[in-house]
């Protein structure tokens, strides 16, 4: 029996079933026939302390580690402690799962790259690295880790997959270019169905954001934009979908500003409900400050929803024309508000979107199409 072992620092859990769901979708895609592996296993930490989401198509393995949480924060213990605990636990769990493994696929260069590299050296198992974005921009060419550990890990990998052209260019500078493939994640087939929904007359136009509710994603900027637009347009409704440290702050602050029903934060939602919201949305607004290739933006474009996004290579790779959206090179609320109003007022923007005139980037593909390219790359 041959097995594919997927190493990932994040996977949907029962307490957070939609967290990093693209990892689960990828694993399920690779496990579905036809596949070169008899079994696909996923090894991930149980971050919230509960079990990973059950799945019949793949075997799930979890490990626990000492995160420290409040204790380390209170006593200001150096973060190397939980990092070493994570790596040690991940290596031991990978060695335990290594029997009959044919290939190791490590998601995120760090922290799972070192795990794959060390287990490969000890057990002579080939491995590949999937660089998503946060790992590259946090530990990339401007960091000492890149010139030492990262370079060695990448050079010894059988293949590397990256999610945008900027990462591809950076990695190809230090390893053989043919070993690097620009291959963003796939998109659930649900988002290619283009189901239409009728808009209630009192609903107005919907501006949608889907993603983590963290400052790095620009969510406070969304609130500033909404505050400015509420003074000019009363029929614009903002819906933010996701979870994160800014969830309660966004709800409280929007009420203080008197936005009321014009600004709502739903929390995480299943793909079916996100697809329904996209079907009703006029624009998808995404002011993130750092991204690899955002799956939420790909889902919006697959549904023919134009995107107003920040100037990041992962977003620029996806937008082929002005019809599909606009890139903004700054983070000033007044300029974003102006750009949104200008785009909404274009006569070509219709509530009933026609996909025949919305040519998608070749990087936006179903998981089935992604699988063909992934297997062909090595």
- Domain co-membership, 177 together with 301: no
Residue 129 and residue 36 share a domain: yes
pLDDT at residue number 202: 52
In a domain, 378, yes or no: no
How far apart, in whole angstroms, are the C-alpha atoms of residue 5 and residue 7?
6
What are the residue ranges of helices labelled H in 262-322?
Answer: 271-280, 295-302, 313-316
In whole angstroms, give the CA distance from residue 318 to residue 298: 7
Residues 48, 33 within the same domain: yes
Structural domain contains residue 362? no
pLDDT attached to residue 358? 64
Alpha-carbon dihedral 167, 173, 175, 176, rounded to 10 degrees: 100
The size of the chain, in residues, is 378
The pLDDT of residue 68: 64
Residue closest to 217 by CA, chosen among 209, 207, 228? 209
State the Cα–Cα distance between residues 187 and 184, nearest whole angstrom: 9
Query: In this structure, is residue 262 part of a structural domain?
Result: yes
What share of the chain has pLDDT > 70, as a percent?
90
Specify the number of domains making up the chain.
2
Q: What pLDDT is attached to residue 57?
A: 83
pLDDT in tens, 152-188: 999 999 999 999 999 999 999 999 999 999 999 999 9
Supply 20's token pair: 């990093």
Residues 6+ apart with CB under 8 A from 180: 159, 160, 161, 162, 168, 171, 172
In a domain, 7, yes or no: yes
Same domain, 308 and 178: no
Evaluate the CA torsion angle 216, 217, 219, 222 in order and state its sign. Answer: positive
Residue 48 lies in a domain: yes
Same domain membership, residue 168 and residue 200: no
For position 75, what pLDDT does the model report?
43
Q: Indicate the helix (H) or strand (E) that contains 250.
A: helix 247-256
**Ramachandran area for residue 69 (φ above 0: left; ψ -120 to 50: alpha; else beta):** left
Q: Establish if 375 belongs to a structural domain.
A: no
Output the pLDDT for position 238.
Answer: 97
Sheet holding 59-63, edge to edge: 59-63, 39-45, 3-7, 101-107, 127-131, 159-162, 180-182
324 — phi, psi (to 5°)? Answer: -85, -10
Same-domain check for residues 283 and 134: no
pLDDT at 194: 62
Both 348 and 206 in one domain: the answer is yes
d(Cα 59, Cα 194) in Å, to the nearest integer? 32
What b/e sequence results for 333-347 when a residue is b if at least 16 CB atoms lie within 10 Å of its CB, and e otherwise? beebbbbbeebbeee
178 with 199, same domain: the answer is no
Buried b (16+ CB within 10 A) or exposed e, 221-249: bbbbbbbbbbeebeebbbbbbbbbebbeb
CA distance 211 to 80: 28
Is 248 among the domain residues?
Answer: yes
Residuewise pLDDT in 10s, the chain (378 residues) = 589 999 999 999 888 888 889 999 999 999 999 999 999 999 999 876 667 777 778 999 999 887 765 544 444 444 677 788 899 999 999 999 988 899 999 999 999 999 999 999 999 999 999 999 989 998 877 777 777 788 899 999 999 999 999 999 999 999 999 999 999 999 999 998 765 544 444 557 999 999 999 999 999 999 999 999 999 988 899 999 999 999 999 999 999 999 999 999 999 999 999 999 999 999 999 999 999 999 999 999 999 999 999 999 999 999 988 889 999 999 999 999 999 999 998 744 554 455 544 678 899 999 999 999 999 987
Q: Which two tokens stand for residue 219?
A: 């969510």
In a domain, 365, yes or no: no
Task: Note the pLDDT of residue 54.
Answer: 77
Q: Same structural domain for residues 281 and 167?
A: no
pLDDT score for 15: 81
CATH of the domain at 263: 3.40.50.2000
Q: What is the pLDDT of residue 147?
A: 73
Do both 225 and 123 map to the same domain?
A: no
The DSSP bridge pattern shows strands 236-241 and 307-310 to be unpaired
Kindly state whether residues 54 and 17 are assigned to the same domain.
Answer: yes
Q: What one-character DSSP code corresponds to residue 6? A: E
pLDDT confidence of residue 56: 76
The residue range of the domain holding 49 is 3-182
49 sits in the region (left: phi over 0; alpha: psi -120 to 50; else beta) called left
Residue 249: strand, helix, or coil = helix
């Amino acid at each position: 029996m041959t097995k594919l072992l997927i190493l990932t620092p994040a996977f949907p859990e029962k307490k957070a079933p939609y967290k990093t769901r693209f990892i689960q979708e990828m694993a399920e895609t690779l496990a579905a026939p036809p596949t070169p592996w008899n079994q696909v296993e996923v090894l991930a930490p149980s971050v919230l302390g509960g079990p990973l989401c059950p799945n019949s198509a793949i075997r799930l393995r979890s490990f626990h580690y000492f995160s420290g949480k409040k204790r380390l924060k209170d006593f200001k213990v150096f973060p190397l402690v939980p990092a070493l605990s994570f790596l040690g636990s991940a290596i031991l769990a990978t060695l335990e799962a290594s029997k009959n493994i044919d290939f190791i696929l490590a998601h995120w260069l760090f922290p799972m790259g070192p795990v794959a590299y060390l287990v490969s050296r000890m057990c002579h198992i080939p491995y590949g690295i999937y660089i998503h974005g946060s790992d590259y921009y946090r530990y990339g060419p401007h960091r000492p880790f890149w010139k030492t550990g990262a370079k060695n890990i990448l050079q010894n990998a059988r293949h590397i997959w990256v999610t945008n052209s900027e990462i591809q260019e950076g990695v190809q500078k230090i390893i053989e270019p043919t070993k690097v493939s620009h291959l963003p994640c796939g998109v659930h087939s649900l988002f290619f169905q283009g189901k239409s929904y009728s808009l209630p007359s009192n609903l107005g136009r919907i501006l949608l954001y889907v993603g983590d509710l963290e400052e790095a994603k620009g969510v406070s900027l969304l609130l500033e934009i909404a505050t400015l637009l509420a003074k000019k347009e009363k029929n614009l409704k903002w819906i933010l979908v996701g979870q994160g440290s800014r969830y309660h702050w966004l709800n409280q602050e929007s009420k203080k500003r008197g936005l009321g029903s014009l600004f709502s934060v739903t929390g995480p939602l299943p793909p079916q409900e996100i697809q329904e919201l996209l079907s009703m949305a006029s624009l998808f607004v995404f002011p993130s400050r750092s991204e690899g290739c955002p799956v939420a933006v790909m889902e919006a474009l697959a549904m023919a929803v134009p995107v107003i996004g920040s100037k990041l290579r992962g977003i620029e790779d996806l937008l082929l024309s002005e019809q599909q959206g606009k890139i903004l090179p700054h983070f000033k609320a007044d300029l974003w508000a102006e750009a949104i109003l200008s785009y909404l007022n274009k006569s070509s923007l219709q509530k009933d979107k026609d996909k025949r005139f919305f040519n998608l980037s070749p990087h936006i593909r179903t998981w089935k199409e992604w699988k063909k390219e992934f297997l062909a790359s090595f």
